[in-house]
A and B are shown apart, each in its own frame.
Chain A
Amino acid sequence: MKRSFAFFALGFLFFMTACSGGGGDGGGTSPAAKRSWTFMVYLGADNNLSSAGVSDLNEMAKVGSDENVNIVVQAEFSSEYTDFTEIDQGSYNGDTIRYLVGKADAGSGFDLESGTSIGNVDMASPATLAAFIQWAAARYPADHYALVIWDHGAGWKRKGRGAVEDETSGNFMTLPDLAKGVRDSGVFVDVIDFDACLMGMYEVAYEFLSLTDYMVFSEETEPGSGNPYDTILAALAANPRMTPGELAVAIVERYDAYYATTERSEDVTKSAVDMSKIAALHEAMVTAAEAIVADFATVGAVIAAAQQNTQSYYYRTNHDLYDFFDYVDTNLVQGSVKAAAQAVKSAASDAVIVNRFRGDSVAESHGIAVYAPARNQVSTDQVVNELASYAALACNQSRGNGWYDAVVAMMENRVQDLYPGGFAFYVEWDTDADVDLYVWEPTALYAPWMGQSTPNGTFSADSIVTGTSAEYYVADDYVEPGYYDVIINYYDNGSTADYANVLFHYYIPGDPAGWRSAGPVTLDLSNPYTDEEITYPPVALNSYSDYWYVYQHYVGEEENGGLSWAQEGTKVKVSFKAKKKKPSFGDGGK
């Protein structure tokens, strides 16, 4: 009886503080009764995610705080991206508000005005994060604390920054500042969940070493809806005696279940790591870095292949840690790097306690990613800026420079010599005829209709597909040496024209003239080249009405013949690939 009375009293106190239909922050300054869990959500939605933030708050209110679990939120939304009048929250003025989230009445939304305003503070400040955690823990003490950091996320990167953006303040919190905010709070948080994109990284986890027991995050971007708070909190409410590890697993599993039953299920990842295992993973990473640097001449080719062939994400420089080292392990016969790769795989497997993914493009996800950029994935200014930021991370402050040294080796000791590229070719014409741009890279011929990516550059889509009488090619920042020949082919008449006046433009970095042009040249089918193979010199001499061999650009130390069709003379024969049948365009197109 005594126990029942105590629960009744606690329940009464709770309902005094958490009003139905919204929240409040409990009022007053004295601590509420201690619960099993205080679930903190730091909801930085003063940006284009504002409406998603409101939706998530509504999800939390479907469950609401109870006599065992406090749901405590500090949130800021954007009137620029959310029409608050339309959602009957017209009095919301953009302030930062603290809530103890109560259970909303069925059918009604969460009342944004139900909390306590603390003015319009900078949610991207580590001091603001620390103050929220301190307030939540002091006002709503509990046996365990969970902290959700809700917003945009960008892993460790300085551009795009760690996570949490505040548009009003114009700031975005860096990864070190996120950790600083948690550290400065002085509150040990049992579980930290990043409801944000791209935070599932070794570098992120290490930054929070000793600040939490479990970390939950996503290797890939997150859908706008983010966490399904209703099911996560319902699980916690149903079992408030959950351990921190169990809550971490529950978040991952509810997230996965949500995206299994909605249409937004492509390319979703979520995982949790045991932070007590991150130090061991770090040690394995440092050892691997040392081995890679020491033996790069031998293993560089395998590392480069791993960069091209292992699971990567929205940032192509982010690779799944296990998959990356598994490739290295599999493709090396012996040696210290192979042994180090095996150790990293083992440590990563130990650290990841649960891993879920949906979508073919993330099918090799194992729960934690790592930065492993290839030289041609990062532009020159990014090399300087990104590496400087990367070097400053906690994981790169230990023995040697940690994984940073391996990254530098990958960037500088590249296996294949590449040369500055950045040149561009642009062709346009004045009719609806089907004209194709071809670029003969050092080793093969490419065109937009074959696909947009080449080994050394990128095409626009095919004009027949876009409906625009133009096609372009831009070389990567770093490209293979050799000749880049440009050939323009009049492939077929349009619905209204049997010719095209073609203009060609090209840009070579460093050319003081900027863009240069050639043409116009009229192309048609009056004197077509009919051979299955094109050979030099006939086509290159522009003797036919449907081909225009217009330009050649050389990349390398010196012009030494290379692989160019035009430079190789009459003996060289090259077949154009069989041209696929192009899709017809609608009435409004070609």
Chain B
Amino acid sequence: MGRFGMFALMGLVLLVACAGGAPSSAGPTVERIGADPGEHLDREVILAGSFKGWKGGCPGPPPVSRSDWMVDDGTGCLYVHGPLPPGLDPARPKDERVVLTGVLKRSADGVLYLDVAGRKPFFPAPR
């Protein structure tokens, strides 16, 4: 997918989340998830944000595997467990815009993360 397309898609997602006249059921954000994890735990969520690879602001070690990576939706940082967005380098993230879907889970250490294992839910998109 071309860069412009990705940009446009991201814009659409933000429109859904933020624009006036938007759907009545606003999607979850990292901030909302953190405020009330039980509402979203073990449920599918869609998140849009910046790809942070292994260099984001999520505190502590990765919750499931050393290859877990981070996404920041502007309200906070969340670890993601599962395949990387195609072509993106976790060691050199460039804030590529991604949209992903997965199940919100909590690790044995109590860390919330998005499990996207077994999915291909990624739209890498430059700003």
Contact = CB atoms under 8 A, between A and B. Distances in A.
A217 B25 CA distance: 46
A48 B58 contact: yes
A379 B108 contact: no
Nearest to A469: B23
A430 interface: yes
Nearest to B39: A588
Contact of A223 (B13, B15, B66): B66
A453 B46 contact: no
Interface string A457-473: 01011100111111010
B62 interface: yes
Given A197-B65, A221-B67, A466 B46 contact: yes
B44 A262 contact: no
Contacts of A320: none
B83 A314 contact: yes
B23 A152 contact: no
Determine which residue in A226, A472, A505 has the highest number of CB atoms from chain B within 10 A of its CB, and name it. A472
Interface in A425-474: 426, 428-432, 452-453, 458, 460-462, 465-470, 472, 474
A12 interface: no
B122 to A, nearest CB: 8
Interface string B21-60: 1111111100000001001000111100000001110111
Determine which residue in B2, B25, B58, B84 has the highest number of CB atoms from chain A within 10 A of its CB, and name it. B25
A384 B61 CA distance: 33
Interface string A396-426: 0000000000000000000000000011101
Given A51-B60, A453-B120, A470 B44 contact: no
B54 A382 contact: no
Contacts of A50: 61
A340 B80 CA distance: 40
B91 A469 contact: no
Nearest to A467: B25
A241 B38 CA distance: 52
B65 A81 contact: no
Contacts of B70: 48
A509 B65 CA distance: 35
A554 to B, nearest CB: 18
Contacts of A514: 4-5, 8
A interface bracket (residues with beta carbon within 8 Å of B): 35 or more
B91 A428 contact: no
B66 A468 contact: no
A197 B67 contact: yes
A172 B108 contact: no
Contacts of A509: 1-2, 5
Nearest to A505: B12
Given A48-B54, A382-B87, A586-B39, A458 B44 contact: no
A314 B67 contact: yes
Given A424-B1, A460-B46, A509-B2, A81 B60 contact: yes
B76 interface: no
A161 B27 contact: no
Contacts of A466: 27-28, 43-46, 101
Given A165-B54, A167-B55, A49 B1 contact: no
A496 B24 CA distance: 9
Given A262-B108, A424-B9, A461 B55 contact: no
Nearest to B54: A48
Contacts of B46: 460-461, 466, 468, 470
B120 A458 contact: yes
A160 B91 contact: yes
B48 to A, nearest CB: 10
B91 A152 contact: yes
A51 B61 contact: yes
A301 to B, nearest CB: 23
A49 B8 contact: no
23 contacts: A52-B66, A152-B54, A152-B67, A198-B67, A221-B66, A264-B107, A314-B65, A379-B86, A382-B87, A422-B1, A424-B1, A432-B25, A467-B28, A469-B23, A469-B24, A470-B46, A472-B9, A496-B24, A497-B24, A505-B8, A505-B12, A510-B2, A514-B8
Given A160-B90, A422-B5, A474-B123, 14 more contacts: A48-B61, A81-B59, A161-B91, A198-B67, A379-B86, A461-B46, A461-B102, A466-B45, A467-B45, A468-B25, A468-B28, A469-B22, A505-B8, A515-B5
Interface of A: 47-52, 81, 151-154, 159-161, 165, 167, 172, 196-198, 220-224, 226, 262-264, 266-267, 314-316, 379, 381-382, 422-424, 426, 428-432, 452-453, 458, 460-462, 465-470, 472, 474, 476-477, 494, 496-497, 505, 507, 509-510, 514-515, 586, 588-590
Please give me the 9 A-B residue pairs with the lowest Cβ-Cβ distance, nearest first: A469-B23, A468-B27, A461-B44, A221-B65, A263-B108, A515-B8, A465-B44, A507-B5, A422-B1
